[in-house]
Amino acid sequence: MNLLLFIQENLTEVASTTSVELLSPTTNEVKINILDLALKGGWLMIPIAVLLFIAIGILIERILVINKSAKEDNTFMDRIKDYIHEGNIKSAEKLCQTANTPYARMIEKGIQRLGRPMNDILVAIENVGNIEVAKLEKGFAWIATTAATAPMLGFLGTVTGMVRAFFDMANAGSNVDISLLSSGIYEALVTTIAGLIVGLIALFAYNYLVARVNNVITKMETRTMDFMDLLNEPTK
């Protein structure tokens, strides 16, 4: 009888201790910052980071160039018209040089061709326009390459990371531990995320710059039409 009472008391004590432990679990929160996460991606994170810096550098430089090219003087064509009607060609050329914009250089080339057939003047202006557009689009190929290459590098990291994980698993034999696979899985996932993020940034930058250049091209075409209309005006 005493033995049964002793066993019952011990079971009650164990049950109460277990319930307290269940109600008061200890939690260990693990944190990781962006740099540590990037380092888990392996060596492929280096070319992905280089592509990101190249794309950002070109984006900033092109924005400054395009902003300078997009500046507009609302009185420019009126002053050109007055100079041409007065026969003051030198002042018209000097005005174009002072403006120092793509459309001003196009108009300057047209002024230099005055006296020749209209088609020759137009062709000369269009040739200068093509050169100016090529200058504005300098570096666009690098951004487009980054938009396509960065995700591919990320997917390559996924493949190499999974190969590494399975290689470690095969070498571990029956002693497979999740810690053996963690580095390969990190490499597989982190490089994919990084590649996609860099690719999206580069794609956005490329489309933004193309839209800005198209606005400048529209201004160039408008100024060209205004200049040709000026030359076609009947003499008074």
- What tokens were used for 30? 């693990």
Residue 97 lies in a domain: yes
Residue 183: closest CA among 33, 37, 29 = 37
The whole-number pLDDT of residue 186 equals 65
In a domain, 29, yes or no: no
What is the spatial distance between Cα 110 and Cα 126, in angstroms, rounded to a whole number? 9
Q: For Cα atoms 58, 59, 62, give the angle at the middle one, nearest 5 degrees.
A: 80
Q: Determine the pLDDT at residue 143.
A: 94
Measured CA to CA, the distance from residue 101 to residue 74 in angstroms comes to: 13
Reading the block at residue 140, the tokens are 């666009």
The verdict on residue 22 lying in a domain is: no
10 lies in some domain: no
Cβ atoms within 10 Å, residue 55: 26
Q: Chain centroid to CA 188: how far?
A: 23
- Residue 224 lies inside a defined structural domain of this protein: yes
Residue 8 covered by a domain: no
pLDDT of 11 reads 43
Q: Rounded to an integer, what distance in angstroms lies between the CA atom of residue 216 and that of residue 210?
A: 10
SS3 category, 138: coil
Residue-level pLDDT, tens digit, the chain, 236 residues: 454 444 445 545 544 444 444 344 444 444 555 555 555 656 778 888 899 999 999 999 999 999 988 888 888 888 998 888 888 889 999 999 898 889 999 999 999 888 888 899 899 999 999 999 999 999 999 999 999 999 998 888 887 777 776 676 676 666 666 666 665 666 677 888 889 999 999 999 999 999 999 999 998 999 989 888 888 765 55
Report the domain count for the chain: 1
Look at residue 210 in the predicted model and tell me its pLDDT: 95
pLDDT at residue 52, rounded to an integer: 92
User: How much is the pLDDT for 22?
Assistant: 37
pLDDT at 190: 81
Residue 103 placed within a domain = yes
Chain centre distance of CA 148: 11
Provide the whole-model pTM: 0.75
Angle at which helix 76-86 crosses helix 102-112, to 10 degrees, equals 10
Note down the domain range covering 216: 34-231
Are 221 and 126 in contact, with CB atoms under 8 Å apart? no
Q: CA separation (Å) from 53 to 46, 123, 198? A: 11, 39, 10
Structure tokens at 200: 């999206």
Tell whether 2 is covered by a domain. Answer: no
